[in-house]
A and B are shown apart, each in its own frame.
Chain A
Amino acid sequence: MTQEATRQRERKEKLEDILVVDCDVHVHESPKELIPYCEMPWRVALENIQDVQEFYLDIPGFSPGTTAYEAVFPSGQEGRKMVHDAEQMRRELDEIHVDLGVLFPDHFLKIPVIAQTEYAAALARAYNAWLLDKWCDVEKGLLGCILACPQDPEDAAREIEKYANESGMVGVFLPCAGLERLWGHRQYDPIYEAAQAADLPVLLHSVTVIHPVFPFNTQQFETEFGRHICSHTFSMMANIVHMITTGVPVRYPDLRVAVTEAGISWVPFLMHKMDREYVERRREVPFLEDKPSTYLKKMYFATQPVEEPENLGDLVTMMNLYDGEDNTIFASDWPHHDFDHPSKVHQVPFTNEVRRKVFGENALRLFNMDANGNRLNLR
Protein backbone atom coordinates (compact mmCIF):
# COMPACT_ATOMS: atom_id res chain seq x y z
CA MET A 1 0.00 0.00 0.00
CA THR A 2 1.48 3.36 -0.97
CA GLN A 3 1.77 6.15 1.52
CA GLU A 4 -0.59 8.25 -0.60
CA ALA A 5 -3.30 5.61 -0.49
CA THR A 6 -2.90 5.31 3.26
CA ARG A 7 -3.33 9.04 3.59
CA GLN A 8 -6.48 9.06 1.56
CA ARG A 9 -8.04 6.55 3.90
CA GLU A 10 -7.21 8.47 7.07
CA ARG A 11 -10.20 9.86 8.90
CA LYS A 12 -10.56 13.59 8.39
CA GLU A 13 -10.02 15.47 11.62
CA LYS A 14 -12.91 17.60 12.80
CA LEU A 15 -12.58 21.36 12.87
CA GLU A 16 -13.31 21.35 16.62
CA ASP A 17 -10.30 19.12 17.19
CA ILE A 18 -7.85 21.30 15.27
CA LEU A 19 -6.05 24.35 16.58
CA VAL A 20 -7.40 27.29 14.58
CA VAL A 21 -5.30 30.45 14.52
CA ASP A 22 -7.16 33.16 12.66
CA CYS A 23 -4.57 35.57 11.29
CA ASP A 24 -6.99 38.37 10.45
CA VAL A 25 -9.93 39.56 12.53
CA HIS A 26 -11.07 43.15 12.88
CA VAL A 27 -11.73 45.31 15.91
CA HIS A 28 -13.87 48.39 15.52
CA GLU A 29 -12.15 51.60 16.45
CA SER A 30 -14.04 54.89 16.34
CA PRO A 31 -13.10 58.51 16.94
CA LYS A 32 -14.99 58.42 20.25
CA GLU A 33 -13.20 55.30 21.49
CA LEU A 34 -9.80 56.74 20.75
CA ILE A 35 -10.34 60.18 22.32
CA PRO A 36 -8.88 59.23 25.73
CA TYR A 37 -5.83 57.72 24.07
CA CYS A 38 -5.08 60.55 21.68
CA GLU A 39 -2.72 63.43 22.34
CA MET A 40 -3.45 67.09 21.88
CA PRO A 41 -4.19 68.82 19.59
CA TRP A 42 -5.46 65.83 17.63
CA ARG A 43 -7.82 64.83 20.42
CA VAL A 44 -9.80 67.98 19.67
CA ALA A 45 -10.26 66.82 16.09
CA LEU A 46 -11.51 63.42 17.27
CA GLU A 47 -13.97 65.11 19.64
CA ASN A 48 -15.18 67.21 16.75
CA ILE A 49 -16.08 64.20 14.61
CA GLN A 50 -17.21 61.77 17.28
CA ASP A 51 -20.88 62.08 16.33
CA VAL A 52 -20.67 62.24 12.52
CA GLN A 53 -22.50 59.58 10.60
CA GLU A 54 -20.35 56.55 10.05
CA PHE A 55 -20.48 54.63 6.79
CA TYR A 56 -18.78 51.32 6.28
CA LEU A 57 -15.10 51.96 6.88
CA ASP A 58 -15.78 55.55 6.00
CA ILE A 59 -15.67 58.50 8.41
CA PRO A 60 -14.68 61.99 7.26
CA GLY A 61 -11.45 63.13 8.87
CA PHE A 62 -10.77 59.62 10.12
CA SER A 63 -10.93 57.11 7.30
CA PRO A 64 -11.95 58.65 3.98
CA GLY A 65 -13.77 55.98 1.98
CA THR A 66 -15.55 55.42 -1.29
CA THR A 67 -18.94 56.68 -0.14
CA ALA A 68 -18.14 60.11 -1.52
CA TYR A 69 -17.91 58.76 -5.06
CA GLU A 70 -21.10 56.80 -5.62
CA ALA A 71 -24.78 56.30 -4.91
CA VAL A 72 -25.30 54.89 -1.45
CA PHE A 73 -28.13 52.34 -1.68
CA PRO A 74 -29.44 50.38 1.27
CA SER A 75 -28.39 46.73 1.18
CA GLY A 76 -29.63 43.51 2.71
CA GLN A 77 -26.15 42.11 3.05
CA GLU A 78 -25.12 42.13 6.67
CA GLY A 79 -21.74 43.31 5.57
CA ARG A 80 -21.66 46.16 7.99
CA LYS A 81 -20.99 44.07 11.02
CA MET A 82 -18.61 45.40 13.62
CA VAL A 83 -17.00 43.99 16.71
CA HIS A 84 -17.03 46.54 19.50
CA ASP A 85 -15.26 44.87 22.39
CA ALA A 86 -13.10 41.94 23.37
CA GLU A 87 -15.96 39.95 24.90
CA GLN A 88 -17.99 40.17 21.71
CA MET A 89 -14.94 39.12 19.70
CA ARG A 90 -14.24 36.12 21.91
CA ARG A 91 -17.88 35.03 21.76
CA GLU A 92 -18.06 35.33 17.99
CA LEU A 93 -14.72 33.63 17.38
CA ASP A 94 -15.91 30.76 19.57
CA GLU A 95 -18.92 30.39 17.29
CA ILE A 96 -16.66 29.89 14.28
CA HIS A 97 -14.22 27.55 16.10
CA VAL A 98 -11.34 30.03 16.21
CA ASP A 99 -8.91 29.53 19.11
CA LEU A 100 -6.55 32.45 18.60
CA GLY A 101 -7.40 35.63 16.69
CA VAL A 102 -4.92 38.19 15.40
CA LEU A 103 -6.39 41.68 15.58
CA PHE A 104 -6.40 44.30 12.84
CA PRO A 105 -8.27 47.61 12.76
CA ASP A 106 -11.34 48.54 10.74
CA HIS A 107 -10.92 52.19 9.75
CA PHE A 108 -7.17 52.36 10.08
CA LEU A 109 -6.73 49.81 7.34
CA LYS A 110 -6.62 52.97 5.25
CA ILE A 111 -4.53 55.18 7.54
CA PRO A 112 -2.07 55.77 4.66
CA VAL A 113 -4.58 58.08 2.96
CA ILE A 114 -4.44 60.58 5.84
CA ALA A 115 -2.49 63.50 4.38
CA GLN A 116 -1.24 64.96 7.66
CA THR A 117 1.77 63.05 8.87
CA GLU A 118 1.56 64.13 12.49
CA TYR A 119 -2.16 63.38 12.69
CA ALA A 120 -1.65 59.94 11.18
CA ALA A 121 1.14 59.17 13.62
CA ALA A 122 -0.97 60.38 16.55
CA LEU A 123 -3.86 58.17 15.42
CA ALA A 124 -1.54 55.18 15.17
CA ARG A 125 -0.18 55.80 18.67
CA ALA A 126 -3.71 56.18 20.05
CA TYR A 127 -4.84 53.00 18.33
CA ASN A 128 -1.89 50.97 19.62
CA ALA A 129 -2.43 52.13 23.20
CA TRP A 130 -6.19 51.47 22.95
CA LEU A 131 -5.70 48.07 21.35
CA LEU A 132 -3.36 46.91 24.09
CA ASP A 133 -5.58 48.33 26.81
CA LYS A 134 -8.97 47.16 25.58
CA TRP A 135 -8.41 44.16 23.35
CA CYS A 136 -5.14 42.28 23.64
CA ASP A 137 -5.61 39.39 26.02
CA VAL A 138 -3.62 36.19 25.72
CA GLU A 139 -6.07 34.40 28.06
CA LYS A 140 -8.87 35.26 25.66
CA GLY A 141 -6.76 34.31 22.66
CA LEU A 142 -6.90 37.87 21.29
CA LEU A 143 -3.53 38.99 19.99
CA GLY A 144 -2.69 42.41 18.64
CA CYS A 145 -0.63 43.84 15.83
CA ILE A 146 1.18 47.13 16.32
CA LEU A 147 0.00 49.58 13.68
CA ALA A 148 3.06 50.96 11.86
CA CYS A 149 2.28 54.42 10.52
CA PRO A 150 3.88 54.60 7.07
CA GLN A 151 3.82 58.40 7.06
CA ASP A 152 6.25 58.49 9.98
CA PRO A 153 8.50 55.41 9.91
CA GLU A 154 10.74 56.65 12.73
CA ASP A 155 7.73 57.00 15.00
CA ALA A 156 6.45 53.60 13.89
CA ALA A 157 9.80 52.08 14.85
CA ARG A 158 9.51 53.70 18.29
CA GLU A 159 6.04 52.20 18.66
CA ILE A 160 7.40 48.75 17.82
CA GLU A 161 10.15 49.17 20.40
CA LYS A 162 7.64 50.42 22.95
CA TYR A 163 5.41 47.35 22.62
CA ALA A 164 8.08 44.82 21.70
CA ASN A 165 7.79 42.95 24.99
CA GLU A 166 4.05 43.15 25.50
CA SER A 167 2.75 39.59 25.55
CA GLY A 168 -0.49 40.72 23.90
CA MET A 169 1.26 42.13 20.82
CA VAL A 170 2.41 39.49 18.40
CA GLY A 171 3.08 41.30 15.14
CA VAL A 172 3.35 44.54 13.21
CA PHE A 173 0.61 45.64 10.84
CA LEU A 174 1.79 47.33 7.63
CA PRO A 175 -1.21 49.16 6.16
CA CYS A 176 -1.30 49.15 2.37
CA ALA A 177 -4.49 50.89 1.23
CA GLY A 178 -3.58 54.15 -0.48
CA LEU A 179 0.08 53.78 0.44
CA GLU A 180 2.14 56.55 -1.15
CA ARG A 181 5.47 54.76 -1.24
CA LEU A 182 5.36 51.01 -1.44
CA TRP A 183 6.66 49.00 1.47
CA GLY A 184 10.01 48.25 -0.15
CA HIS A 185 11.11 51.89 0.07
CA ARG A 186 14.15 52.37 2.23
CA GLN A 187 12.36 55.06 4.23
CA TYR A 188 10.75 52.09 6.02
CA ASP A 189 14.04 50.50 7.05
CA PRO A 190 13.62 51.66 10.67
CA ILE A 191 10.35 49.71 10.85
CA TYR A 192 11.94 46.54 9.52
CA GLU A 193 14.93 46.94 11.80
CA ALA A 194 12.71 47.34 14.84
CA ALA A 195 10.46 44.43 13.86
CA GLN A 196 13.37 42.13 13.22
CA ALA A 197 15.05 43.15 16.48
CA ALA A 198 11.81 42.46 18.38
CA ASP A 199 11.29 39.18 16.50
CA LEU A 200 7.84 40.39 15.50
CA PRO A 201 6.55 39.46 12.04
CA VAL A 202 5.18 42.15 9.73
CA LEU A 203 1.76 41.59 8.17
CA LEU A 204 0.58 43.43 5.08
CA HIS A 205 -3.11 44.19 4.82
CA SER A 206 -5.03 46.31 2.34
CA VAL A 207 -8.62 47.43 1.76
CA THR A 208 -10.61 49.18 -0.95
CA VAL A 209 -9.97 52.90 -1.39
CA ILE A 210 -9.96 55.37 -4.24
CA HIS A 211 -6.68 57.23 -4.00
CA PRO A 212 -4.25 58.61 -6.59
CA VAL A 213 -1.51 56.08 -6.02
CA PHE A 214 -0.93 52.72 -7.67
CA PRO A 215 -2.90 50.46 -7.55
CA PHE A 216 -5.63 52.51 -5.87
CA ASN A 217 -6.46 54.85 -8.72
CA THR A 218 -9.56 52.70 -8.85
CA GLN A 219 -11.90 55.52 -9.82
CA GLN A 220 -11.90 53.94 -13.27
CA PHE A 221 -14.06 51.14 -11.93
CA GLU A 222 -17.71 51.93 -11.52
CA THR A 223 -18.09 48.97 -9.25
CA GLU A 224 -16.87 47.72 -5.91
CA PHE A 225 -16.50 44.42 -7.76
CA GLY A 226 -13.53 45.79 -9.67
CA ARG A 227 -12.11 48.04 -6.98
CA HIS A 228 -12.13 45.33 -4.38
CA ILE A 229 -10.08 42.91 -6.45
CA CYS A 230 -7.49 45.52 -7.34
CA SER A 231 -7.27 47.11 -3.93
CA HIS A 232 -6.43 43.86 -2.23
CA THR A 233 -4.66 41.54 -4.61
CA PHE A 234 -2.85 44.08 -6.77
CA SER A 235 -1.74 45.98 -3.72
CA MET A 236 -0.20 42.87 -2.20
CA MET A 237 1.55 42.00 -5.44
CA ALA A 238 2.86 45.56 -5.84
CA ASN A 239 4.20 45.68 -2.30
CA ILE A 240 5.73 42.22 -2.38
CA VAL A 241 7.43 42.90 -5.72
CA HIS A 242 8.70 46.20 -4.36
CA MET A 243 9.99 44.65 -1.14
CA ILE A 244 11.79 41.89 -2.98
CA THR A 245 13.27 44.23 -5.58
CA THR A 246 14.69 46.51 -2.89
CA GLY A 247 16.09 43.53 -1.06
CA VAL A 248 14.01 43.66 2.13
CA PRO A 249 14.20 39.87 2.63
CA VAL A 250 17.96 39.95 2.05
CA ARG A 251 18.64 43.02 4.12
CA TYR A 252 16.47 41.68 6.97
CA PRO A 253 17.01 37.93 6.70
CA ASP A 254 15.31 37.12 10.02
CA LEU A 255 12.23 39.24 9.33
CA ARG A 256 9.08 37.20 8.84
CA VAL A 257 6.60 38.64 6.35
CA ALA A 258 2.94 37.71 5.95
CA VAL A 259 0.30 38.78 3.47
CA THR A 260 -3.37 38.92 4.39
CA GLU A 261 -6.68 39.23 2.57
CA ALA A 262 -5.54 38.59 -0.97
CA GLY A 263 -6.23 34.87 -1.34
CA ILE A 264 -3.44 32.65 -2.61
CA SER A 265 -3.95 32.06 -6.32
CA TRP A 266 -1.69 34.96 -7.37
CA VAL A 267 1.32 33.59 -5.55
CA PRO A 268 2.42 31.10 -8.25
CA PHE A 269 1.81 33.78 -10.89
CA LEU A 270 4.02 36.29 -9.12
CA MET A 271 6.68 33.71 -8.42
CA HIS A 272 7.07 32.86 -12.08
CA LYS A 273 6.80 36.45 -13.32
CA MET A 274 9.57 37.56 -10.98
CA ASP A 275 11.85 34.64 -11.76
CA ARG A 276 11.51 35.29 -15.47
CA GLU A 277 12.29 38.99 -15.01
CA TYR A 278 15.30 38.09 -12.89
CA VAL A 279 16.97 36.32 -15.82
CA GLU A 280 17.06 39.58 -17.74
CA ARG A 281 17.35 42.22 -15.04
CA ARG A 282 19.32 40.80 -12.13
CA ARG A 283 21.62 43.79 -12.14
CA GLU A 284 18.71 46.08 -11.23
CA VAL A 285 18.15 44.01 -8.10
CA PRO A 286 21.71 43.14 -7.08
CA PHE A 287 20.58 42.69 -3.48
CA LEU A 288 19.20 39.30 -4.34
CA GLU A 289 21.41 36.32 -3.72
CA ASP A 290 18.97 33.91 -5.26
CA LYS A 291 16.02 33.98 -7.63
CA PRO A 292 13.06 36.02 -6.35
CA SER A 293 10.75 33.07 -5.80
CA THR A 294 13.13 31.83 -3.11
CA TYR A 295 12.25 34.87 -1.04
CA LEU A 296 8.56 34.79 -1.90
CA LYS A 297 8.31 31.22 -0.67
CA LYS A 298 9.67 32.29 2.71
CA MET A 299 6.71 34.63 3.19
CA TYR A 300 3.38 33.56 4.66
CA PHE A 301 0.09 33.79 2.78
CA ALA A 302 -3.33 33.99 4.42
CA THR A 303 -6.15 32.08 2.78
CA GLN A 304 -8.95 34.63 2.94
CA PRO A 305 -10.82 35.43 0.73
CA VAL A 306 -10.20 31.85 -0.21
CA GLU A 307 -10.66 30.98 -3.87
CA GLU A 308 -13.64 28.70 -4.37
CA PRO A 309 -12.93 26.56 -7.43
CA GLU A 310 -15.51 23.93 -8.35
CA ASN A 311 -12.91 21.33 -7.58
CA LEU A 312 -11.52 22.28 -4.19
CA GLY A 313 -8.55 20.07 -4.97
CA ASP A 314 -7.41 22.89 -7.24
CA LEU A 315 -6.58 24.84 -4.09
CA VAL A 316 -4.20 22.11 -3.01
CA THR A 317 -2.61 22.25 -6.46
CA MET A 318 -2.25 26.03 -6.29
CA MET A 319 -0.64 25.76 -2.87
CA ASN A 320 1.74 23.10 -4.08
CA LEU A 321 2.86 25.43 -6.87
CA TYR A 322 4.47 27.69 -4.27
CA ASP A 323 5.42 24.93 -1.82
CA GLY A 324 2.68 26.33 0.38
CA GLU A 325 2.34 23.53 2.88
CA ASP A 326 4.43 25.35 5.45
CA ASN A 327 3.64 28.98 4.69
CA THR A 328 -0.11 29.10 4.10
CA ILE A 329 -2.05 30.39 7.10
CA PHE A 330 -5.75 30.53 7.81
CA ALA A 331 -7.61 33.83 8.14
CA SER A 332 -11.34 34.51 8.40
CA ASP A 333 -11.43 38.34 8.18
CA TRP A 334 -14.19 38.27 10.78
CA PRO A 335 -16.54 40.18 10.85
CA HIS A 336 -16.15 41.69 7.40
CA HIS A 337 -18.53 41.12 4.51
CA ASP A 338 -16.24 38.72 2.67
CA PHE A 339 -15.17 36.65 5.68
CA ASP A 340 -14.45 32.94 5.37
CA HIS A 341 -15.95 30.48 7.80
CA PRO A 342 -13.24 27.94 8.69
CA SER A 343 -15.56 25.19 7.51
CA LYS A 344 -14.87 26.30 3.93
CA VAL A 345 -11.12 25.80 4.22
CA HIS A 346 -11.85 22.65 6.20
CA GLN A 347 -13.50 21.20 3.07
CA VAL A 348 -10.30 21.51 1.07
CA PRO A 349 -8.94 17.98 0.52
CA PHE A 350 -5.75 18.39 2.51
CA THR A 351 -4.15 15.56 4.40
CA ASN A 352 -4.75 15.90 8.14
CA GLU A 353 -1.14 16.93 8.55
CA VAL A 354 -1.37 19.78 6.06
CA ARG A 355 -4.76 20.83 7.38
CA ARG A 356 -3.31 21.23 10.87
CA LYS A 357 -0.44 23.24 9.46
CA VAL A 358 -2.67 25.62 7.53
CA PHE A 359 -5.17 26.09 10.34
CA GLY A 360 -2.66 26.69 13.09
CA GLU A 361 0.84 25.30 13.13
CA ASN A 362 2.21 27.55 10.40
CA ALA A 363 0.82 30.62 12.18
CA LEU A 364 2.47 29.56 15.45
CA ARG A 365 5.78 29.57 13.61
CA LEU A 366 5.01 32.94 12.00
CA PHE A 367 4.27 34.52 15.38
CA ASN A 368 6.79 32.41 17.30
CA MET A 369 4.23 31.47 19.93
CA ASP A 370 2.76 28.37 21.52
CA ALA A 371 -0.71 26.96 20.98
CA ASN A 372 -2.07 29.14 23.81
CA GLY A 373 -0.85 32.33 22.19
CA ASN A 374 2.15 32.79 24.48
CA ARG A 375 5.03 34.40 22.67
CA LEU A 376 8.19 32.36 22.91
CA ASN A 377 10.45 35.35 22.34
CA LEU A 378 9.60 37.66 25.24
CA ARG A 379 12.66 39.02 26.98
Chain B
Amino acid sequence: MTREREEHVIGNVSDFPEGSHRLVKVGRREIGVFNVGGDFYGLPNVCPHQTGPLCEGKPPLGTLVSRRENDWRFEWVHDGEIVACPWHGLEYHIPTGRCIAYPSVTLRRYEVVVEGDEVKVRL
Protein backbone atom coordinates (compact mmCIF):
# COMPACT_ATOMS: atom_id res chain seq x y z
CA MET B 1 0.00 0.00 0.00
CA THR B 2 1.56 3.31 -1.00
CA ARG B 3 0.66 6.43 0.84
CA GLU B 4 -0.15 9.61 -1.02
CA ARG B 5 2.81 11.94 -0.39
CA GLU B 6 2.07 15.32 1.07
CA GLU B 7 3.62 18.44 -0.39
CA HIS B 8 4.19 21.54 1.68
CA VAL B 9 5.18 24.86 0.22
CA ILE B 10 7.94 26.26 2.39
CA GLY B 11 8.84 29.44 0.55
CA ASN B 12 10.09 31.08 -2.58
CA VAL B 13 13.28 30.20 -4.45
CA SER B 14 14.57 33.66 -3.58
CA ASP B 15 14.34 32.72 0.11
CA PHE B 16 17.04 30.05 -0.43
CA PRO B 17 20.10 31.56 -2.13
CA GLU B 18 22.91 29.17 -3.06
CA GLY B 19 25.10 28.21 -0.12
CA SER B 20 22.44 29.09 2.42
CA HIS B 21 20.16 27.09 4.59
CA ARG B 22 16.98 27.76 6.53
CA LEU B 23 15.01 26.02 9.14
CA VAL B 24 11.35 25.43 8.24
CA LYS B 25 8.52 23.92 10.20
CA VAL B 26 6.25 21.41 8.54
CA GLY B 27 3.57 20.28 10.93
CA ARG B 28 5.53 19.18 13.98
CA ARG B 29 8.70 18.57 12.02
CA GLU B 30 11.63 20.95 11.95
CA ILE B 31 13.52 20.57 8.71
CA GLY B 32 16.75 22.19 7.63
CA VAL B 33 16.54 23.11 3.96
CA PHE B 34 19.86 23.55 2.19
CA ASN B 35 20.67 24.97 -1.22
CA VAL B 36 23.98 23.40 -2.21
CA GLY B 37 25.05 24.66 -5.62
CA GLY B 38 21.47 24.92 -6.83
CA ASP B 39 20.42 21.51 -5.50
CA PHE B 40 17.99 21.43 -2.59
CA TYR B 41 18.22 19.06 0.35
CA GLY B 42 16.19 18.62 3.52
CA LEU B 43 17.49 17.15 6.77
CA PRO B 44 15.83 16.74 10.18
CA ASN B 45 16.82 19.35 12.75
CA VAL B 46 17.76 16.67 15.26
CA CYS B 47 21.23 15.25 15.69
CA PRO B 48 21.06 11.54 16.53
CA HIS B 49 23.95 11.99 18.94
CA GLN B 50 22.26 13.99 21.70
CA THR B 51 19.26 15.53 19.91
CA GLY B 52 21.09 18.81 19.22
CA PRO B 53 19.55 21.33 16.76
CA LEU B 54 21.59 20.04 13.85
CA CYS B 55 20.49 22.53 11.23
CA GLU B 56 20.62 25.69 13.30
CA GLY B 57 24.35 26.18 12.97
CA LYS B 58 26.55 28.03 10.54
CA PRO B 59 26.09 27.79 6.78
CA PRO B 60 27.50 24.59 5.31
CA LEU B 61 31.28 24.32 5.20
CA GLY B 62 33.71 21.63 4.14
CA THR B 63 35.68 19.18 6.21
CA LEU B 64 39.06 17.47 6.48
CA VAL B 65 39.99 14.01 5.31
CA SER B 66 43.29 12.26 4.65
CA ARG B 67 44.16 9.52 2.19
CA ARG B 68 47.05 7.19 1.58
CA GLU B 69 47.31 8.43 -2.04
CA ASN B 70 48.22 11.85 -0.68
CA ASP B 71 50.62 10.57 2.01
CA TRP B 72 47.91 11.07 4.62
CA ARG B 73 48.10 14.87 4.42
CA PHE B 74 45.03 16.82 5.40
CA GLU B 75 42.71 17.75 2.53
CA TRP B 76 39.73 20.09 2.56
CA VAL B 77 36.82 18.32 0.86
CA HIS B 78 33.03 18.53 0.38
CA ASP B 79 33.26 22.31 0.46
CA GLY B 80 29.81 23.75 1.12
CA GLU B 81 28.33 20.29 1.66
CA ILE B 82 28.94 19.69 5.36
CA VAL B 83 26.66 20.69 8.20
CA ALA B 84 28.04 20.42 11.74
CA CYS B 85 25.79 20.16 14.75
CA PRO B 86 26.26 23.34 16.84
CA TRP B 87 26.23 21.31 20.04
CA HIS B 88 29.05 18.77 19.65
CA GLY B 89 30.23 19.34 16.11
CA LEU B 90 29.23 15.98 14.64
CA GLU B 91 29.43 16.42 10.87
CA TYR B 92 27.04 15.27 8.15
CA HIS B 93 27.31 15.27 4.39
CA ILE B 94 24.20 17.16 3.30
CA PRO B 95 23.58 15.53 -0.11
CA THR B 96 23.70 12.00 1.31
CA GLY B 97 22.84 12.52 4.98
CA ARG B 98 25.89 10.44 5.85
CA CYS B 99 27.57 11.06 9.17
CA ILE B 100 31.28 11.64 8.50
CA ALA B 101 32.52 10.20 11.79
CA TYR B 102 30.18 7.22 11.80
CA PRO B 103 29.50 6.11 8.22
CA SER B 104 26.92 3.61 9.43
CA VAL B 105 24.75 6.52 10.59
CA THR B 106 22.70 8.19 7.87
CA LEU B 107 20.12 10.90 8.48
CA ARG B 108 16.63 10.75 7.08
CA ARG B 109 16.47 12.96 4.01
CA TYR B 110 13.42 14.97 3.01
CA GLU B 111 12.80 15.52 -0.64
CA VAL B 112 12.84 19.21 -1.51
CA VAL B 113 11.58 20.21 -4.95
CA VAL B 114 11.34 23.48 -6.82
CA GLU B 115 8.25 24.06 -8.91
CA GLY B 116 8.09 27.41 -10.58
CA ASP B 117 9.05 29.87 -7.87
CA GLU B 118 7.92 27.63 -5.06
CA VAL B 119 10.06 25.44 -2.88
CA LYS B 120 8.24 22.43 -1.50
CA VAL B 121 8.98 19.63 0.92
CA ARG B 122 7.51 16.22 0.12
CA LEU B 123 6.74 14.00 3.05
Please report A residues at the B interface, Cβ cutoff 8 Å: 247, 251, 278-284, 286-287, 291
Contact = CB atoms under 8 A, between A and B. Distances in A.
Given A279-B49, A286-B66, A286-B74, A291 B88 contact: no
Interface in B24-67: 49, 63-66
Nearest to A288: B101
Contacts of B64: 283-284, 286
A272 to B, nearest CB: 15
B10 to A, nearest CB: 30
A283 B63 contact: yes
Nearest to B63: A283
Contacts of A281: 89
A251 B72 contact: yes
Report whether over half of chain A's contact residues are helix, strand or loop; otherwise say mixed: helix
A363 to B, nearest CB: 30
Nearest to B104: A290
B100 interface: yes
Interface residues of B, number: 16
21 contacts: A247-B66, A251-B68, A251-B72, A278-B101, A279-B49, A279-B88, A279-B89, A280-B88, A280-B89, A280-B90, A281-B89, A282-B91, A282-B100, A283-B63, A283-B64, A283-B91, A284-B64, A286-B65, A286-B66, A286-B74, A287-B66
Given A251-B68, A286-B64, 7 more contacts: A247-B66, A251-B72, A279-B90, A283-B100, A286-B66, A287-B66, A291-B101
A234 to B, nearest CB: 26
Contacts of A247: 66, 72
Nearest to A281: B89
Contacts of A282: 90-91, 100-101
A287 B72 contact: yes
Nearest to B49: A279
Contacts of B100: 282-283
A283 B93 CA distance: 13
A276 to B, nearest CB: 9
Interface string B74-104: 1100000000000011110000000011100
Contacts of B66: 247, 286-287
A247 B71 CA distance: 11
Contacts of B91: 282-283
A279 B101 CA distance: 7
